[in-house]
Amino acid sequence: MSEDTSSAEARLWRYIDSDEGTLTQFCLKIGVQNVEVQKVNLGDHLFNLRQHNADTIISKNEQSNRGDYNLFFANQMYSEAYLLHGLLHILLNCNQIDIGTDLNQFKQLTSNYTSKLKGHVLLKNRLFREAYSEMINAWPYRRKVDGAMYHPVSYVLRQGNLWELDALKDGPCILASCNEDNWLDFMQAELVKKAKMYQELDLPISIWAVIESRKLVYQKKVTSKLFMKQAIESMLDKHQPDWRKSCQRWEEEYVHALSSSERIKRGLLLSDRLAHHCSRSDQLPNEEKQKIYSSLSHNKQGSLIDTWLQIHDEILRLYEQLGLEDEKDEIYQKNYIRKRHNYIPFIESFIQALVEQGHFHS
């Protein structure tokens, strides 16, 4: 690789100040749908995140063993591209993630490549290069001077095993046999062990999780709660036709709450926009409907009304959470745009104007 080519690659695959919004936007840019990237503290219980996988970013090289595997795995060929490797090792190895047409084609195209060739090819891929370049601050490029070498270690559940994909090793390795119910516990134990080891070596470590979009999680809950509300109302209409008279005030308060809070109104609008991603309340899977009917069948009429009132509160809280998620997305987008703007010409012009007006004196 010539010096000019190496310099050009360094400018593209340079270290970026990663944050949740930037990495989530990157996933969207390469065609991935309905996921977000979240930073994780080791004290958090990973099950609460309902994540697809976790990605640890560390600065340590290790020896490894290679075994047979049926996973996408690419060796890290350029240190600063560690985020790309970490994310792709997750996105391309989780069948439940909608990775879009372009990533599917890339995955199929490289399926028979060696891990080193995959590492070279992904760095030349136009989709990845364009998306990555948009994540970079529009500030003049400066090489790192601290000599740090970053690399990702990703963890995925595949084929009944917890896999570790370290881009600086020869290939992925199996850490434990596990399933959907316990793999997060195994992974958390592994992360704690890794973190302790690197902390003893005074090496920094940060942990990121690729999780299901919070908006869709809340929307699915809203859909389920709305169906339950309608089911209770149908049962009460059948067995206690005049029940609405005694509950009219509560229904009016619920309707008022929907329109009085700006955040709840925002969440309600977002819920309407998300309706095409999730089934409407009357289109829930039959299995879920039967679970709801079964849970309600044991309730007495008075208890049904209490449950009905409780569901109103839960729906309001879910709409509020959706409103918060909408606000978060707006902040992400604004920060993403600000990052790409080069403020240096403005700063230079502003300082020059101050000098010309006599505010600065030599």
- Taking the C-alpha atoms of 184, 25, 132 and 77 in order, what is their torsion angle to the nearest 10 degrees? 0
pLDDT of residue 335: 84
The per-residue pLDDT for range 274-289, each reduced to its tens digit, is: 887 665 666 778 888 8
Amino acid letter, 55: D
Average pLDDT over residues 99-128: 93
Question: In the predicted model, is pLDDT for residue 318 greater than 90?
Answer: yes
Phi, psi of 13 (to 5 degrees): -90, 45
pLDDT tier for residue 362 given thresholds of 50, 70 and 90:
low
Under 8 Å between Cβ of 136 and 341: no
Phi, psi of 285 (to 5 degrees): -55, 145
pLDDT of residue 140: 53
Q: Which of 345, 1, 343, 314 is nearest to 138 (CA)?
A: 343
CATH class of 3-212: alpha beta
Under 8 Å between Cβ of 220 and 278: yes
**What is the bridge-based pairing of β-strands 173-177 and 35-40?**
unpaired
Integer angstrom CA distances of residue 304 from 190, 225, 287: 45, 14, 21
Under 8 Å between Cβ of 192 and 69: no
pLDDT of residue 239: 85
Spatial separation of the C-alpha atoms in residues 31 and 98, rounded to whole Å: 8
The per-residue pLDDT for range 56-113, each reduced to its tens digit, is: 444 434 333 444 468 999 998 887 788 889 999 999 999 889 999 999 999 999 999 9
| Residue ranges of domains in the chain | 3-212, 215-338
* Size of the chain in residues: 362
- Residues above pLDDT 90, as percent of the chain: 41
Taking the whole predicted model, whether its pTM rises above 0.85 is answered as: no
Residue whose tokens read 């970490």: 86
Under 8 Å between Cβ of 308 and 232: yes
Question: In the predicted model, is pLDDT for residue 226 greater than 60?
Answer: yes
Encoded tokens for 209 = 């999780």
pLDDT of residue 203: 82
